[in-house]
Structure 1
Amino acid sequence: MTSSSNSSSTSSSDLSAFSALAPYGWDDAWADEFAPYGTEGLLPGRVIRVDRGQCDVVTADGLVRADTAFVTPHDPLRVVCTGDWVAVEPAGNPRYVRTYLPRRTAFVRSTSSKRSEGQILAANVEYAIVAVSLAVELDLGRIERFLALAWESGAQPLVVLTKADLVPDPVTRAHLVQDVELSAPGVSVLTVSAVDGDGLDTLVALVSGGTSVLLGQSGAGKSTLANALLGEDVMDVQATRDVDGKGRHTTTTRNLLALPGGGVLIDTPGLRGVGLWDAETGVGQVFSEIEELAAQCRFHDCAHSAEPGCAVLAAVDTGQLPVRRLESYRKLLRENQWIVAKTDARARAELRREWKRRGAQGKAAMEAKRGNR
Structure 2
Amino acid sequence: MRGRGTRRFLMCIALVAAVWGGVSTWFYVNDLAQPVLKPLNQSYEGYTNVPRKAPGLRMEPFTFTGWDGGEVQAVIAVKDGEESSRQLSVIGDLMHNPVERLHQIDYVLVCVDWDHGIRSALPVAESLTAAGLTCVLWEPRGKDDRRPYCTHGLKECRDVPMLIDAVTARSGKKNPVFAAVGQGYGAGLLLQAAATEPRIRGLVSIDAYASLRQSVERTMPEGILRPVVMWLMDQRIRRTAGMESFDVAPVEQAADMDRNVPVLVVNLAQDNPVSNFKDALTIYRRLSSDQRAVWTLRNDSDPAGATHREMTLGRGRRGLSVSVGLLADEDSAMSSIVHWINERVVDAVEAPRVSDPARPDLTSSNIRL
Do the two structures share a fold, i.e. TM-score over 0.5? no
TM-score normalised to structure 2 length = 0.29
TM-score normalised to structure 1 length = 0.29
